[in-house]
Amino acid sequence: MPTDLDLRTVEPRSPGQPDRRKPERGRPEREFVRFTRMQRTLHACMIVSFLSLATTGLTLKFSYTRWASMVSRFLGGFQVAGFIHRSAAILMFGVFIAHLYNLVQLKKREYKTWRGLILGPDTMLPTSQDLHQFIATMKWFIGMGPRPQYGRWTYWEKFDYFAVFWGIAVIGSTGLCLWFPILFTRFLPGSFINVATVIHSDEALLATGFIFTVHFFNTHLRPEKFPMDTTIFTGHMPLAELKRDKPLEYEALMASGQMEQHLEEPQPEIVVRTIRIFAWIALSIGFSIVVWIIYAMLFAYR
């Protein structure tokens, strides 16, 4: 293990406890960079877009609740809500395209070939290793084994990633049908609009429900990270956390001696605080929506 990393400064920090460590002699301890600026921006845009889409869309889906009409009125009426919904959809498409562009850039910069990107060690595609890790995780859950040694991307992170691809394809395409029904009924039957409505609305329910429960748990509500993991916003993650959470990646980087390239000084205090406020707002909206969905589905369903 290289000594120049000064691991003594990287202390484990108890969850939920504010970081009270002070930089020693003006030199702050460095953190592992997990996400690029582009990825963080796209995720933030996705949050804004997704929350807007969910809020405005659900007013229609649960129009029979008093909540829905209150939210709709607060937003300025169904037409304004519709405008917000479509604007957010454009933003979502933008995020999607930007991500694809980013992939191309990534390939050019680091992998040279698509093969390298897709089949490399940091691939987003499911691999046999993921299957083994999944089985090992199940064993760990039921107390029949240790916690598996996860790498850069765990299988549930890969699942989340492709869920977004699937969601954008399904919700986006049916959404366009509903947006331009006259154009689409030039070659589709009129009743396809009805089918598209069902798919759009139920798939959206799946997406919101999944993101605001399972995804939130994986990243925020996991007791060891409670109440919030800001890695996706700051892009940084304490080295100790990387060592604990993603031991495979940590070890690989240490072994290859490339760790130094991945360390950066922490974000300024003000940036972190702003990020926390933003994240808390997003989190609260998400939870409110979950409560609303549960209320509408279980207690007010018609």
Partner 1 sequence: MPTQTIRNLFAPGIALTLFLTAGILQAAPKPPQTPSTDDCLACHSDKTLTTKRGNRTVSLFVDGKKFSSSVHGSLACVSCHADLEGKDLPHSTPVARVECGTCHGDEQKQHSHSLHGKAIARGDALAPHCVDCHGNHDIVPVRDPRSAVAPLKVPFVCGRCHQEGTPVQTSRQIDQHNILENYSESIHGEALLKKGLVVAANCVSCHTPHNILPHTDPNSSINRRNIAATCTKCHAEIEEVHRKTIRGELWEKEAHVLPACVDCHQPHKVRNVYYAQGMADADCMRCHANERLKAADGRSMFVSAAEIAASRHAHPRTQAVPVSCSQCHSEVNVSRVRPCETITHPVDCSKCHEDQGQQYQRSKHGQLLAAKDPNAPSCRDCHGTHRILDKRDPESRTFSTRVPDLCGSCHREGQKAAVRYVGTQHQIISNYNESIHGKGLLKSGLTVTATCTNCHTAHMVLPKSDPQSTVNPKNVPATCGACHHGIEEQFEQSVHSRLVTKTDKGLPVCNDCHSAHTIRRTDETGFMLDIMEKCGKCHEEIAKTYFDTYHGKVSRLGYTKTAKCYDCHGAHDILRVADPRSHLSRANVVATCQKCHSTATRRFAGYLTHATHHDPKKYPFVFWTFWGMTTLLLSTFVIGGMHTLLWLPRALQMRRELKAEEAKEEAELAREEAARSNGAGEEGKSAGEENHHAH
Binding site for partner 1 (CB under 8 A): 11-15, 20-22, 24, 59-61, 63-64, 68-69, 72-73, 77-79, 138, 140-142, 147, 156, 178, 181-182, 185-186, 188-191, 193-195, 197-199, 202-203, 205-206, 209-210, 213-214, 217-218, 222-224, 226, 302
Smallest CA-to-CA distance from 217 within 297, 294, 118, 283 is with 283
d(CA 128, CA 134): 10
Residue with smaller CB distance to partner 1, 44 or 170: 170
- Work out how close the CB of 72 gets to partner 1 at its nearest, in angstroms, rounded to a whole number: 5
**Spatial contact of 212 and 290, defined as CB atoms under 8 Å apart:** yes
- Work out how close the CB of 159 gets to partner 1 at its nearest, in angstroms, rounded to a whole number: 9
Residue with smaller CB distance to partner 1, 141 or 280: 141
- Work out how close the CB of 231 gets to partner 1 at its nearest, in angstroms, rounded to a whole number: 17
- Work out how close the CB of 272 gets to partner 1 at its nearest, in angstroms, rounded to a whole number: 18
- Work out how close the CB of 111 gets to partner 1 at its nearest, in angstroms, rounded to a whole number: 31
Smallest CA-to-CA distance from 271 within 237, 227, 233, 300 is with 233
Residue with smaller CB distance to partner 1, 33 or 188: 188
Residue with smaller CB distance to partner 1, 3 or 256: 3
- Cα dihedral sign, 231-34-26-270: negative
Residue 259: DSSP 8-state: G
Q: Which residues contact 83 (CB under 8 A, 6 or more apart)?
A: none
Residue with smaller CB distance to partner 1, 78 or 278: 78
The four Cα atoms 170, 173, 178, 181 give a dihedral, to 10 degrees, of -140
